[in-house]
Homo-oligomer: A and B are copies of this chain.
Amino acid sequence: MLNEAVDFLKMYYVETERPEEELMSRLAEVERGIEEHGFYEHTIDELQFGAQVGWRNSNKCIGRLFWQTMQLLDQRELRDEQDIFHALLEHIEFATNGGRIRPTITVFSQRDVRVWNHQLIRYAGYETADGIVGDPDSVAFTQKCEQLGWQGQGGRFDVLPLVIQVEDRAPQIFDIPAEYILEVPIRHPEFEWFDELGLKWYAVPMISSMKLEIGGITYAAAPFNGWYMGTEIGARNLADDYRYNMLPIIAEKMGLNTSSNSSLWKDRALVELNTAVLYSYKEDEVSIVDHHTAAQQFKRFEANEQTAGRDVTGNWTWLIPPLSPATTHVFHKPYNNERKTPNYFYQKAPY
């Protein structure tokens, strides 16, 4: 842990141009902390910097241009489930900001706290005799919530409850009050029948299942959010045949020949679904970025990093958008997928 702490603190002092003497005394302090307790506490500035650099280092993320704008909600002192629930509501409200989404991270205690949800707001998935209703990706977690006593409505877009665990106490379940949940009904600028599909999506993707590692310290509960890139909703969540699988019905409503692959009905339906997503979020003034603009922003990020003398690492397979990928510069160059820290990592699900 000490080596990682030293590397991180040096980086922090150099990048933020803090005085060398201060670094020396800070290093001594951290070393003492690790010797005495086996860990140390980040200052709030270190934590914010570490969380931001973790974003900068997220190889799969095309949104990294804005890494310095992410705001920190420091909730490391909380140990009470109810308090943590309120902190999560605060995150949702602060991040959602009436649609002008703010990249935000809430950091909880380095041990002791765990949020079981994959995202703070996400739709349930129910296995029924007629197949899955809702989001197939949520089936396992939905069952877990049911075991914990939650009872869903059985709809296609039921927001799951928050499941919060502190220390080794039983996890507790909290419904998110409706007024915290901003959603966007998906409609199409030209196709009036699109409304009848009854599609919507939530405004803010807030990942709560990953851990944040900074200078040897692991934050297992550190939900973070940006805003959506349209294709995440329009070319994956609502489109994948193992998710909401909407392409066949959209193509049918469009009158396309779904019996012929070469009619490109999937490609046509996909473009319309993505058009509808971008149109709806924009009309509702909910932040969203299309994949072309996101790629242009990422190009600026690459240039910025080069100017700063840092290598950009990236995971090509995630960076390319799932719609017309070869129309973005990302498709046409290789990325080095080395992992730098601080960073966000997968961790074993607690259930």
Q: Mark A236-274, 1 if CB is under 8 A from B, else 0.
A: 100110100001000000000000011110111011001
A278 to B317, CA, bound (A): 27
In the complex, what residues of B have CB within 8 A of residue A320's CB? 325
Min distance, Cβ A92 to any Cβ of chain B, angstroms: 26
Number of copies: 2
> How many residues belonging to A are interface residues under a CB distance threshold of 8 Å?
35
Interface residue A160 (Cβ < 8 Å from any Cβ of B):
no
A273 to B202, CA, bound (A): 34
**Contact partner of A262 among B264, B267, B278, CB < 8 A?**
B278
**Contact partner of A267 among B240, B282, B317, B327, CB < 8 A?**
B327
Q: Mark A214-245, 1 if CB is under 8 A from B, else 0.
A: 00000000000000001000011001101000
**Contact partner of A271 among B240, B271, B296, B322, CB < 8 A?**
B271
A290 to B240, CA, bound (A): 19
Do B325 and A325 touch across chains, with their CB atoms under 8 A apart?
yes
Q: Mark A315-337, 1 if CB is under 8 A from B, else 0.
A: 01100101111110001100000
In the complex, what residues of B have CB within 8 A of residue A242's CB? 332
Do B278 and A274 touch across chains, with their CB atoms under 8 A apart?
no
Do A264 and B268 touch across chains, with their CB atoms under 8 A apart?
no
**Contact partner of A278 among B230, B235, B264, CB < 8 A?**
B264
Do A274 and B264 touch across chains, with their CB atoms under 8 A apart?
yes
Contact A324-B323, Cβ < 8 Å, known A274-B267, A290-B262: yes
Min distance, Cβ A292 to any Cβ of chain B, angstroms: 4
Do B264 and A326 touch across chains, with their CB atoms under 8 A apart?
no
With most chain B CB atoms within 10 A of its CB, the pick from A236, A266, A275, A324 is A324
Interface residue A293 (Cβ < 8 Å from any Cβ of B):
yes
**Contact partner of A331 among B247, B275, B322, CB < 8 A?**
B322
In the complex, what residues of B have CB within 8 A of residue A296's CB? 261
In the complex, what residues of B have CB within 8 A of residue A267's CB? 271, 274, 323-324, 327
In the complex, what residues of B have CB within 8 A of residue A236's CB? 326
Do A264 and B270 touch across chains, with their CB atoms under 8 A apart?
no
In the complex, what residues of B have CB within 8 A of residue A292's CB? 261-262, 266
Min distance, Cβ A319 to any Cβ of chain B, angstroms: 11
Min distance, Cβ A85 to any Cβ of chain B, angstroms: 35
In the complex, what residues of B have CB within 8 A of residue A271's CB? 264, 267-268, 271
16 contacts between A and B (CB under 8 A): A230-B262, A236-B326, A239-B327, A240-B326, A247-B327, A261-B292, A262-B278, A263-B275, A264-B271, A264-B274, A266-B327, A316-B317, A322-B324, A322-B325, A322-B331, A323-B326
Footprint of B on A, CB under 8 Å? 230, 235-236, 239-240, 242, 247, 261-264, 266-268, 270-271, 274-275, 278, 282, 290, 292-293, 296, 316-317, 320, 322-327, 331-332
